[in-house]
Amino acid sequence: MIKKILIIRFSSIGDIVLTSPIVRAVKNQTHAQVHFLVKKQFASVMKFNPFIDKCWNFDPEDPSLLSKLKEENFDLILDLQKNIRSKKVARSLHAKTISFDKINIRKWAYVNFKFPALPNLHIVDRYFSAVKELGIKNDGQGLDFYVDPHVSSQFLKKDEKYICISLGAAHNTKQIPESTLAQICDQVETTIYLLGGNMDKEKGDRIAVSREHVHNMAGQTSLQESAALLSNAQLLLTADTGLMHMAVGLKIPTLVIWGNTAPELGMYPYYGEDDIFTFNHEVKPLSCRPCSKLGKQSCPKGHFNCMRKQNIPMIVDQIKTLVED
């Protein structure tokens, strides 16, 4: 009988949110204690998840961490990070370990040669394939994200009608160009909140400065405060980002503008069986795309057509339709 489980996923925001269906299913279907190991800077992603009994902060420089984890006597390790460090942690704990198929070779073939080797399977479904031996099944409820119940009410905006736009992304070739965002803001009259980190603040300031209905929150909100803003938005316009997965976990409709990555890589919005609107905007055909499974600092071809040739009128029309509904 499994009494205590450790789930490992160090980073990033989106990747951690993508583990939430597994966390929920493991807790509900095994009734075991569920512990989660994550980097300290991403701990708030899972801090308020009711299906987690204890969150551990991963610090490779902390010599006492492994000793403390060993004292827990885990019956099972779910390694959903599956890198050198996570494997080292799992080996040190001397418990049965289950990981998943990262299909890196297939991804490499698809990115470099556009070889159709990828399974038509979301990463969440690959997680569930890995735990099939435990009898754990996908409950179809999609991603979860839980907002700090003590977050300031000023970020909840329950009485406002607005949309959110994600400004940044981990890699430049995933980011929606500033000119594109400016055009969209000019054509959408609904109140808009711009979300992002410190590195996105100047971009947000330039977009918001001459548009009274646009409010730049980039660099001014914590992860949980951004989540609170998202939780009552009518939709999120975003690139392939962690905020995209947060919005899905909050059951908010998403309009996703895909740059150098592609939904075929298995990281698209995952609502489960919920009937939630999501629109994927891609420039097709474009032989150079995807050029990376993660992202690059600049377009290898120099034209960045995967973003610059997006159909802005269609995106604006969809935003207006969803806001009106």
Question: What does the pLDDT look like over 173-186, one tens digit per residue?
Answer: 999 999 999 999 99
214 and 301 in a single domain? The answer is yes
314 and 165 in a single domain? The answer is yes
What residue numbers bound the domain in which 13 lies? 4-134
163 and 276 in a single domain? The answer is yes
pLDDT of residue 325 exceeding 80 = no
Q: How confident is the model at residue 317 (pLDDT cuts 50, 70, 90)?
A: very high
113 and 183 in a single domain? The answer is no
255 and 183 in a single domain? The answer is yes
124 and 50 in a single domain? The answer is yes
Q: Please give the Cα distance from 58 to 86 (Å, whole number).
A: 10
Over residues 81-107, the pLDDT tens digits come to: 999 999 999 999 999 999 999 999 999
Phi, psi for 64 (deg, rounded to 5)? -90, -10
92 and 178 in a single domain? The answer is no
Closest CA to 148 of 223, 224, 222, 49: 224
Cβ(110)–Cβ(265) below 8 Å: yes
Cβ(89)–Cβ(37) below 8 Å: yes
105 and 161 in a single domain? The answer is no
- 233 belongs to a structural domain: yes
- For residue 42, the domain's CATH number is 3.40.50.2000
Q: How confident is the model at residue 162 (pLDDT cuts 50, 70, 90)?
A: very high
Closest CA to 319 of 191, 223, 213: 191
- 142 belongs to a structural domain: no
Portion of the chain with pLDDT greater than 90, in percent = 94
How many folded domains does the chain comprise?
2
Q: Please give the Cα distance from 269 to 147 (Å, whole number).
A: 19
Q: What is the pLDDT of residue 155?
A: 94
Q: What is the pLDDT of residue 311?
A: 97
Mean pLDDT of 28-42: 97
Portion of the chain with pLDDT greater than 70, in percent = 100
Q: How confident is the model at residue 233 (pLDDT cuts 50, 70, 90)?
A: very high
Q: What is the pLDDT of residue 16?
A: 98
100 and 171 in a single domain? The answer is no
Q: Give the distance, in angstroms, between the CA of residue 107 and the centroid of all CA atoms in the same chain.
A: 19
Mean pLDDT of 228-247: 97
